[in-house]
Structure 1
Amino acid sequence: MILDIDPKAKGLIFDLDGTISDTMPIHYIAWRNAAAKHGIDFTVELFGQLAGIPLYPTVEKLNELFGTSIDPQQMGDEKEMEYENNMHQAVPIRPVVEIIKKYHGKIPMAVGTGGLKRLAKKSLELIGIDKYIDIIVAYEDVKNYKPHPETFLRCAELMGVEPQFCQVFEDGVLGIEAAKKAGMMVVDVKDFYDVTIGH
């Protein structure tokens, strides 16, 4: 099975973590370590459930689930510092990177991520993809994060492509839901590579 774009696509939107760059195992370990300091067992299942939710809202969600009152800023920043120290270990997700290189300069492309813009840029630089994609819509650019469609609709707007002609490449349940709500075509990239979180 070869990953390719839909013939109707006039603009491509990519999630970043777990879609362009295999950062999920690094995010997972950073979350697990940050949560452990607060007595929370951050399981692989929990990680899957929360994937796609931005940094500080993830801590708020943990507080809801575990009845804790952890400071989202403090724990979020601890987690992000550990992630940033290890993000150089991430490898590109080849089938997706090949699509980006193949259609670069032929069709508009954007990244729509729940991550912080600074780290999204750094992540793209580390795997050498920064020169292929100019448009990044990150956590700071939207009021409503995935599964709300705002991230992807903003990407479409910046690319100048109507939503129904945008194709989204995603690995997260919430992101796939957001793309569908935006009325876009969507591909679950997990079908094209092996997921190895927590193994």
Structure 2
Amino acid sequence: MIFDCDGTLVDSMPAHFEAWCEALSIYGAGGVFKEDVFIAMGGRPTRDIVVDLNSEYDLKLNPEAVALAKREAFLKRMGSVCLIREVADFARSLQGKVPMAIATGGSRHVIEKTLKAVGISDWFDEVVTAEDVAEGKPAPDVFLRAAKLMGVDPARCLALEDAPAGILAAQRAGMQVVAIPSPLASLDA
């Protein structure tokens, strides 16, 4: 069983969007990242998104600098993140019964702090981040690495994911996928 973290297991997307807005404003690009684009790019590594924003808006943002500013802005908002109860209850019910991992487009530092903040850092056998693989989502790398570390054939894995890039990544890894509706997307409904 492989879980995405942000937007799937943890309701952190509003804090991530606010952090993006703050980081981009610091570098003179406030307002370029609209919420619908943010949702569509969910699950992808921050640096990759900055590269895309540079291309789309003819910007020259430093991906590393923006990623660091975004990380710091998110960490200031850590108190607003919480578990997505239904997914967390499902994960809790599987503890000790099946191997479980996190496969995320986030950085290890932020994901470890997030899991600790919501009290579930000890639930998972493995945590694979964008920093642990050559290519982030939508490439299948994080899911394939998580399966390998758990010793489970990817075809026998079930992935829970909210973002289009993550769903595609899990499918590319040959896994069955359960698409989790994003709490942020449900606010528009």
Q: List 4+ stretches of structure 1 deviating above 2 A.
A: 193-199
Number of residue pairs matched by the alignment: 187
Deviation (angstroms), 1:35: 1.8
Please give the alpha-carbon distance, in whole angstroms, between the structure 2 residues aligned to 1:197 and 1:59.
26
Please give the alpha-carbon distance, in whole angstroms, between the structure 2 residues aligned to 1:92 and 1:197.
17
Deviation (angstroms), 1:88: 2.0
CA distance 1:198–1:47, change in 2 (3 Å): farther
Q: Aligned to 2:113, which of 95, 112, 122? A: 122
- RMSD of Structure 2 on Structure 1 (CA): 1.8
Q: Deviations over 1:113-163 (max 9, x none)?
A: 011111111111111111111300001100011111111011110111111
Aligned to 1:39: 29
1:26 aligns with 2:37: no
CA distance 1:153–1:26, change in 2 (3 Å): same
Of 33-42 and 148-157, deviating more is 33-42
8 Å Cα contact 2:162/2:180 also seen in 1 = yes
8 Å Cα contact 1:28/1:197 also seen in 2 = no
Unaligned runs of 5+ in 2: none
Please give the alpha-carbon distance, in whole angstroms, between the structure 2 residues aligned to 1:93 and 1:104.
17
Please give the alpha-carbon distance, in whole angstroms, between the structure 1 residues aligned to 2:141 and 2:92.
26
Identity %: 36
Aligned to 2:39: 48
CA distance 1:84–1:198, change in 2 (3 Å): farther
8 Å Cα contact 1:110/1:155 also seen in 2 = yes
Please give the alpha-carbon distance, in whole angstroms, between the structure 1 residues aligned to 2:188 and 2:130.
25
Equivalence map 1:79-158=2 (5 Å):
79-158=70-149
- Counterpart of 2:60, as a letter, is S
8 Å Cα contact 1:44/1:197 also seen in 2 = no
